[in-house]
């Protein structure tokens, strides 16, 4: 599970943190980082002693989405393009089908694939300064179903077609964010919630999470079909 841009930390009590640690690139999700996150989630979710996972970002941005330089490379290198989309499909399905509760600690803006990453978690804790946007709608097909599952079809359609910015107050009001933490407090608030969840019977939490996964109905579908 070792990757230069991913922190994997056992915080005790069944809580683990997966921290995107690429602040100079606004925690952009390269193919290798997506694979590292997928590997970590697969390994940890297979352990009976893991009760909750917290995803966080370093610096001032939670995640700016996929690494755009890789899409330019894929246009020139078809073999890399195959690798890029394979890592994307695995990344989305690993998170959407994770049997362990996932909590996003939002320290800053969640953009494009970072927006998707937040919506693929079960709960989202945000601090002041967080906002959401999908700038990729100007040139690419966005994910729809994880967002629709949270905010409903009408708003999800609007955001997927316009890419407009969603400020924190609206995000809280429409259910895109579950709780707002104090200034710079998202990670600690998310960890506190994770400890609360992890302290409950693991079989009950996992059975509940299994209902979420079944309802999502994403099995076997490629990223761009979601």
DSSP type of residue 29: B
189 pLDDT tier (thresholds 50, 70, 90): very high
Taking the model in full, what pTM does it have?
A: 0.94
Structure tokens at 213: 């996964």
Q: What is the DSSP string of 41-79?
A: HHHHHT-TT--EEEEEESTT-SB--B-HHHHHHHHH-HH
pLDDT, one tens digit per residue, over 63-89 is 999 988 888 887 888 888 888 888 889
Residue 70: predicted pLDDT: 85
Rounded (5°) CA angle 9-40-92:
130
* Whole-number Å distance between alpha carbons of 75 and 61: 27
184 pLDDT tier (thresholds 50, 70, 90): very high
Q: To the nearest whole number, what is the mean pLDDT of the chain?
A: 94
pLDDT, one tens digit per residue, over 1-47 is 579 999 999 999 999 999 999 999 999 999 999 999 999 999 999 99
DSSP type of residue 141: P
Structure tokens at 177: 């964010």
Distance (Å) of CA 191 to CA 6, 33, 38: 17, 22, 20
**Helices (DSSP H) in the chain: which residue ranges?**
31-45, 68-76, 78-96, 113-120, 145-151, 153-162, 168-174, 186-198, 202-216
Residue 107: predicted pLDDT: 98
Structure tokens at 111: 């953009």
């Amino acid at each position: 599970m070792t990757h230069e841009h991913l922190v994997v930390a056992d915080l005790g009590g069944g809580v683990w943190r997966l921290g995107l640690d690429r602040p100079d690139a606004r925690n952009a999700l390269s193919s290798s980082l997506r694979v590292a996150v997928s590997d970590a989630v697969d390994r940890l979710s297979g352990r009976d002693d893991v009760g909750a996972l917290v995803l966080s970002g370093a610096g001032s941005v939670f995640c700016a989405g996929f690494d755009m330089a890789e899409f330019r490379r894929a246009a020139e290198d078809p073999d890399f393009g195959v690798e890029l989309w394979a890592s994307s499909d695995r990344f989305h399905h690993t998170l959407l089908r994770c049997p362990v509760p996932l909590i996003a600690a939002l320290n800053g803006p969640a953009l494009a694939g970072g927006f998707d990453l937040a919506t693929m978690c079960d709960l989202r804790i945000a601090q002041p300064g967080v906002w959401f946007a999908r700038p990729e709608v100007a040139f690419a097909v966005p994910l729809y179903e994880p967002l629709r599952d949270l905010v409903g079809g009408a708003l999800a359609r609007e955001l997927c077609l316009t890419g407009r910015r969603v400020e924190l107050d609206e995000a809280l009001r429409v259910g895109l964010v579950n709780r707002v933490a104090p200034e710079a407090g998202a990670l600690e608030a998310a960890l506190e919630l994770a400890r609360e969840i992890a302290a409950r019977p693991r079989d009950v939490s996992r059975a509940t999470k299994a209902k979420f996964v079944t309802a999502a109905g994403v099995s076997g579908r490629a990223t761009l079909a979601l």
